[in-house]
Amino acid sequence: MPGPGCSERMARVIDQLWEYIAIAVGILVILGGVLFGLLRGRGGRTKSAPTAPPREKEVLPGVGDDAEEPRDTPTRTIEDRGGVDTLPPAEPEVLAEPAPTPTIERPEAPAGRLQRLRARLARSNTALGKALLSLLSRGGLDEEAWEDVEDTLLASDLGVEATTELVESLRSKVKVEGATDEATVRGWLREDLLALVDPSMDRSIASSRVAGRPAVVLVVGVNGTGKTTTVGKLARVLVAQDKDVVLGAADTFRAAAADQLETWGGRVGVPTIRSDRDGADPASVAFDAVKAGAEMEADVVLIDTAGRLHNKVGLMDELGKVKRVIEKQSPIDEVLLVLDATTGQNGLRQAEVFGEAVDVTGIVLTKMDGTAKGGIVVSVQRKLGVPVKLVGLGEGPDDLAPFDAEAFVDALID
């Protein structure tokens, strides 16, 4: 029979055994719970709505870090109980189209432009050429006939002095030569008119850099002569000669003047310097334009000024101020006076006053294709002692032509 010591050892062994059994049962319970949860979770998902796989990133050319060619978007399918759900392809991103690049025009070369426009000039001066040829070719010229010749010349705005010279020259030729057929008379007229127009005058326009700076051209005139349009057309003439041009919108009193000039410049890729507000100081705008032209290393800066009546002393003084302010930045190489050729003798008075205010170096005659009379070329040159350098012969952008004395005279007697 076992003793008391043996009984105590058996009891301790049994207690430890029960502890091990409890631990094992606990582990089995935990494992069973985990397994049950996994089995239950799998079964639940088989009954839930299908979940689409992550959408594949679409690659567009030149966007982000990856600039490869775009790939076709694959059709995505989802398996669900043996079936297939098809998703439509994703809409491609639409990139904003870049703004169209403005078209820069290439103006017509100015060389020979007056020849092309000769017919327009001839139409406007028919009275002078045809009337003179008719009078001089009929023979037997008496004093009354010569008075008719004088009247015709005066009506063409040739001026008294030039008319007297021309009539005296023709009288001498008729007296010496005696012949009065039309071909001979045409030759006499051409010779004498060409001498009056004076082809020896320098009609070039300052348009090249001078001593490392741009040439500066100031354009002046009265209201309504087409001055701003002339500046825009002159820019086209210079661009056609491969000149780098900067425009200065110093006509700050007419609301649309700066916009109009900027439009002209934009068509041929020429920048326009302007003020952000109406009524700004025109001298300040002109100064800034010349400064900008120097910084851009342009060949020429064209300054448009406000039209002003020649009999308004205050406005003419202001024009003088514009000139002085520009000269603080750069010398002025050219002052072009724009005259409406249809105003006739009144234009001569305008020319005289402007010449006193700003030292005019050249004349631009606009509207020569209308009712203008060709004699104005001679009279205005004599009045100011400066040449006509440009003539306007239409509304087209390239209807401003460098003045050609021979082509002009030929048109007069055509």
- Tens digit of each residue's pLDDT (9 = 90 or more) over 376-387: 899 889 988 999
Q: What is the predicted pLDDT for the residue at 301?
A: 97
Q: Where are the domains of the chain?
A: 113-197, 215-408
CB neighbour list of residue 59: distance below 8 Å, 6 or more residues apart = 66, 68, 70, 71
Comparing 21-25, 191-195, 302-306, the range with the smallest average pLDDT is 21-25
250 is in an annotated binding site: no
- 299, 316 Cβ separation under 8 angstroms: no
pLDDT, mean over the chain: 78
Query: What's the CA gap between 349 and 368, in Å, rounded?
Result: 19
335 is in an annotated binding site: no
126 is in an annotated binding site: no
Comparing 11-25, 74-88, 235-249, the range with the smallest average pLDDT is 74-88
342 is in an annotated binding site: no
- 106, 98 Cβ separation under 8 angstroms: no
226 is in an annotated binding site: yes
368 is in an annotated binding site: yes
82 is in an annotated binding site: no
What is the pTM for the complete model shown? Answer: 0.72
293 is in an annotated binding site: no
Q: Predicted confidence band at 305 (pLDDT cuts at 50, 70, 90)?
A: very high
228 is in an annotated binding site: yes
CATH topology for 215-408? Rossmann fold (3.40.50)
26 is in an annotated binding site: no
User: Tell me: the pLDDT tens digits for 114-161?
Assistant: 776 666 666 655 556 777 777 777 666 778 888 888 888 888 888 899
362 is in an annotated binding site: no
* Residues paired with residue 219 on neighbouring β-strands, in sequence order: 304, 336
Distance of CA 10 to the CA centre of its chain: 115
308 is in an annotated binding site: yes
The average pLDDT across 39-68 equals 44
Query: What's the CA gap between 412 and 131, in Å, rounded?
Result: 11
The average pLDDT across 47-66 equals 42
224 is in an annotated binding site: yes
Closest CA to 270 of 248, 290, 294: 248
Query: What's the CA gap between 180 and 174, in Å, rounded?
Result: 7
Q: What is the predicted pLDDT for the residue at 335?
A: 95
Comparing 18-22, 222-226, 354-358, the range with the smallest average pLDDT is 18-22
| CATH architecture for residues 113-197 | Up-down Bundle (1.20)
User: Tell me: the pLDDT tens digits for 240-286?
Assistant: 999 999 999 998 888 789 999 999 999 999 999 999 877 789 999 99
- The DSSP result for 202-220, as a single string, is ------S-BTTB-EEEEEE
User: Tell me: the pLDDT tens digits for 318-353?
Assistant: 888 999 999 999 999 999 999 988 887 777 887 888
- The DSSP result for 13-59, as a single string, is HHHHHHHHHHHHHHHHHHHHHHHHHHHHHHHHHTTSPP-PPPPPPP-
